[in-house]
């Protein structure tokens, strides 16, 4: 692994902040790296406030969206809330349904079938709206490129409000309102809201017209925090505020659906990482294995006993998803080895029997193994569908764009995308994709990188240091959990491999003349056992380990050399 230590901020700024906040220099350095350089900026960062949320009417078309919804409610129109089948989409639909159902009974939800309709606004969904008398569709986490679908709806006298966060195309759909901070003509101050975040701004705007205080909207933030965590958007600025309060709701008074999901999880306080690995996969499993509707039913359920029943069903979907994920990953790895494709610049694999709902997870697993842009294909009707995943620093969306002559459609982000093509174009696409990546990627990007915030001496790792460090949370993109390096450390001689397959490393470390040891665990680093007999360098995060009621600080090793 490449070790990349972040540049040092200006020493004068670090010293000033350290003095102003009365904190250790390494902590002041971490804040300066996050562009927090004054007492006031630090106060906003450490003590997020609902007052820090932006006026929702700063978003282009928000006034039009609110007016059209108010008109629909006053005219007794039927409103259909339409969203994608992933976590961001289902939480968005659940959020807006929970709020609007207080204002009108003439409201329903629609999640497209992952396999029958695919991603985004579908013609089938619009036909459903027409057949059931809906005159307004509010699309969340999708719709920004649905030009033909919105035009089709307009022919049927169905209006659209689009709440999306994906990158718009050159032309926008002909909708009643389009809420998307990434619009070129939108001056909203924060551009990185997720779909559920845009949905929250809409209910914030609707509530403000009724003079509802923002505090009354806090119970909805468990959904927003879950979507922010799952969609891997930057947890800075407005997202930090929404996540901060959303985590409080999850831990103190979650809605019945989330409470039911957590029923079997024995954790006292969930972090954002727990949301990513405990809540999000279960919500996602519904759309992957059966139908996203199951997730919405769970998240809008007001009766706890019924929510428990939904949660048990979703748990079975999640178990099924894990089994499929493991099986398909093994088959894909075997295919790569069999075809002797380990030395390519890309990983592209295909099997007509692979489950479409888990190919994105498998693509992530393969990227972890071979660390290169990866595509996993399966059969989807008479076409082939794929999920793409990339490595840090390489834009897979742009690479797909360079191959678009072979594709039927594609969409997504820098690091994750989806696409479909005709079976007869598969080999030509595979060759072109390899050629594009080979000629455009910096070879250095094909080696995993650890970004290190700063160097620490073990003597600086104190309970007070850790107490303040924890307050940097919630962690996520642009505010990642701090990673440290310590040089020339030694093990006390009792270091050993642990785990049923001895794949992990357990050490007791000390540094210099200070014989006080600190425990360290290195998951997946068992093969480094021979590197610990003399002085060595370690890269790690700091955590708290609880054993028999006793808490102690522990290093979670990322690498050592």
Residue 334 lies in a domain: no
Domain CATH number, residue 441:
3.10.310.30
Q: What is the pLDDT along the chain (561 residues), one digit of tens a residue?
A: 899 999 999 999 999 999 999 999 999 999 999 999 999 999 999 999 999 999 999 999 999 999 999 999 999 999 999 999 999 999 999 999 999 999 999 999 999 988 888 778 999 999 999 999 999 999 999 999 999 999 999 999 999 999 999 989 899 999 999 999 999 999 999 999 999 999 999 999 999 999 999 999 999 999 999 999 998 899 999 999 999 999 999 999 999 999 999 987 777 789 999 999 999 999 988 888 888 899 999 999 999 999 999 999 999 999 999 999 999 999 999 999 998 888 899 999 999 999 998 999 999 999 999 999 999 999 998 999 999 999 999 999 999 999 999 999 888 778 888 999 999 999 999 999 999 999 999 999 999 999 999 999 999 999 999 999 999 999 998 999 999 999 999 999 889 999 999 999 999 999 988 888 999 999 999 999 998 988 999 999 999 887 777 888 999 999 999
- The residue written with tokens 């709440």 in the block is 163
DSSP string, 206-217: HHHTTT--GGGG
Q: Which of 163, 167, 200 is nearest to 182 (CA)?
A: 167
Q: Which of 231, 250, 265, 232 is nearest to 299 (CA)?
A: 250
How buried is residue 27: exposed, middle or buried, by Cβ count under 10 Å (0-12/13-18/19+)?
A: buried
Residue 327 lies in a domain: no
Q: Look up the domain containing 466 and give its range.
A: 2-47+450-560
- The whole-model pTM stands at 0.90
Whether 129 and 228 map to the same domain: the answer is yes
Q: For residue 198, how far is the Cα from the chain centroid?
A: 15
- Half-sphere exposure at residue 452, Cβ-oriented, CA atoms within 13 angstroms: 20
Provide the domain count of the chain: 3
Q: E strands along 201-356, which residues?
A: 347-350
- The residue written with tokens 């697993």 in the block is 365
CA–CA gap between residue 229 and residue 273 (Å, rounded)? 8
Domain CATH number, residue 219:
3.90.1640.30
Produce one character per residue of 51-83: b if its CB has 16 or more CB atoms within 10 Å, e if not: eebbebeebbbbeebbebbeebbeeebbbbbbb
Whether 308 and 383 map to the same domain: the answer is no
CA–CA gap between residue 114 and residue 125 (Å, rounded)? 12
Residue 328 lies in a domain: no
Residue 240 lies in a domain: yes
Whether 73 and 117 map to the same domain: the answer is yes
CA torsion, ordered 434, 437, 443, 447, to nearest 10 deg: -80
Whether 467 and 441 map to the same domain: the answer is no
Q: Which of 371, 328, 373, 333 is nearest to 353 (CA)?
A: 328
Whether 151 and 114 map to the same domain: the answer is yes
Q: Which of 399, 398, 402, 336 is nearest to 363 (CA)?
A: 336
For residue 280, give every residue at least 6 positions away whose Cβ sits within 8 Å of its Cβ, in sequence order, or none.
87, 226, 229, 230
CA–CA gap between residue 383 and residue 420 (Å, rounded)? 7
pLDDT of residue 118: 78
Residue 331 lies in a domain: no
Whether 457 and 500 map to the same domain: the answer is yes
Whether 170 and 306 map to the same domain: the answer is yes
Produce one character per residue of 103-141: b if its CB has 16 or more CB atoms within 10 Å, e if not: eeebbebbbbbbeeebbbbbeebbebbeeeebbbbbbbb
CA–CA gap between residue 128 and residue 123 (Å, rounded)? 9
Residue 239 lies in a domain: yes
């Amino acid at each position: 692994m490449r070790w990349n230590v972040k540049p040092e901020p200006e020493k004068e700024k670090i010293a000033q902040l350290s003095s102003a906040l009365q904190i250790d220099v390494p902590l002041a350095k971490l804040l300066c790296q996050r562009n927090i350089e004054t007492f006031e900026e630090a106060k906003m960062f450490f003590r997020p406030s609902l007052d820090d949320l932006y006026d929702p009417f700063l978003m282009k078309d928000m006034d039009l969206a609110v007016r059209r919804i108010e008109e629909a409610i006053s005219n007794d129109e039927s409103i259909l809330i339409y969203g994608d089948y992933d976590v961001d989409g289902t939480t968005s639909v659940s959020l807006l349904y929970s709020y609007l159902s207080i204002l009108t009974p003439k409201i329903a939800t629609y999640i497209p079938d992952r396999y029958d309709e695919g991603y985004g606004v579908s013609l089938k969904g619009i036909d459903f709206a027409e057949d059931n008398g809906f005159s307004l569709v509010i699309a969340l986490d999708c719709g920004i490129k649905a030009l033909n679908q919105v035009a089709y709806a307009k022919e049927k006298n169905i209006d659209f409000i689009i709440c999306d966060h994906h990158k718009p195309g050159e032309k926008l759909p002909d909708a009643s309102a389009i809420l998307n901070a990434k619009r070129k003509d939108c001056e909203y101050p924060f551009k990185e809201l997720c779909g559920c975040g845009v949905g929250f701004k809409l209910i914030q705007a609707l509530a403000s017209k009724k003079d509802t205080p923002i505090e009354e909207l806090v119970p909805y933030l468990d959904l927003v925090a879950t979507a922010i965590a799952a969609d891997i958007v930057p947890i800075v600025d407005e997202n930090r505020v929404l996540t901060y309060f959303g985590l409080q709701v999850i831990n103190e008074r979650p809605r019945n659906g989330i409470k039911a999901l957590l029923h079997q999880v024995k954790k006292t306080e969930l972090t954002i990482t727990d949301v990513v690995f405990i809540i999000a996969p279960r919500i996602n499993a519904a759309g992957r294995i059966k139908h996203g509707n199951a997730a919405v039913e769970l998240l809008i359920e007001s009766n706890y006993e019924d929510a428990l029943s939904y949660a048990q069903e979703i748990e079975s979907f999640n178990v099924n998803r894990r089994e499929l994920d493991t099986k398909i990953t093994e088959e894909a790895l075997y295919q790569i080895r069999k075809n002797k494709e380990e030395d390519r610049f890309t990983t592209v694999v295909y099997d007509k029997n692979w489950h479409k709902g888990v190919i994105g997870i498998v693509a992530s697993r393969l990227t972890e193994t071979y660390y290169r842009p990866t595509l996993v294909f399966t059969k989807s009707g008479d076409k082939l569908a794929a999920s793409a995943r990339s490595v840090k620093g390489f834009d897979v969306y742009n690479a797909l764009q360079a191959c678009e002559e072979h594709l039927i459609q594609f969409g997504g982000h820098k690091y994750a995308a989806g696409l479909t093509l005709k079976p007869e174009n598969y080999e030509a696409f595979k060759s072109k994709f390899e050629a594009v990546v080979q000629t455009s990627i910096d070879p250095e990007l094909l080696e995993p990188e650890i970004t290190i915030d700063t160097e620490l001496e073990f003597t600086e790792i104190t309970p007070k240091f850790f107490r303040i460090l924890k307050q940097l949370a919630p962690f996520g993109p642009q505010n990642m959990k701090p990673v440290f390096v310590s040089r020339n450390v030694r093990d006390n001689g009792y270091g050993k491999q642990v785990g049923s397959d001895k794949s992990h490393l357990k050490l007791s470390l000390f540094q210099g003349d200070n014989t006080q040891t600190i425990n360290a665990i290195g998951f997946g680093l068992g093969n480094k056992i021979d590197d610990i007999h003399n002085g060595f360098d370690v890269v790690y995060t700091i955590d708290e380990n609880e054993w028999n009621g006793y808490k102690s600080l522990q290093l979670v090793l990322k690498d050592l050399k």
